[in-house]
Amino acid sequence: MERIIMHYDMDAFYASIEINRNPKLKNKPLVVGENIVTTASYEARKYGIHSAMKVSDAKLLCPKLIVIPVDKTEYIRISNEIHNLIFKITNKVEFVATDEGYIDLTDIIRPENKKILL
């Protein structure tokens, strides 16, 4: 039997958490990081800002950029909540980062739906 593996990656995970915590940040260019950009919101990406660039360079690209310090404890807490939700579906999962993993859906997808996926 062929296995069905789903990959998930929550893009801009840290930025999304910060926007959820403070809805006034929605639709504003922001980065999470201190000296280096850990993640950038979609609005910040429109200015060419991306992960691993210096925050000082990002501010040159977008002078109104909002910089939020990393809150690793909160990101791990939210990640653990998501992991617990996944474990309610299956324990056949491999987490590769706080916001990314692989889920084996082979035993979950009904046989009649498998042909649609393949």
Query: Which residues are known to be catalytic?
Result: 100
Please list, in sequence order, all residues whose beta carbon lies within 8 angstroms of the beta carbon of residue 108, skipping any fewer than 6 positions away: 89, 90
Instruction: Detail the DSSP E strand segments found in 3-116.
Output: 5-9, 30-33, 37-40, 66-68, 93-97, 100-104
Q: How many Cα neighbours within 13 Å face the side chain of 116?
A: 5
Q: Which of 12, 69, 70 is nearest to 41 (CA)?
A: 12
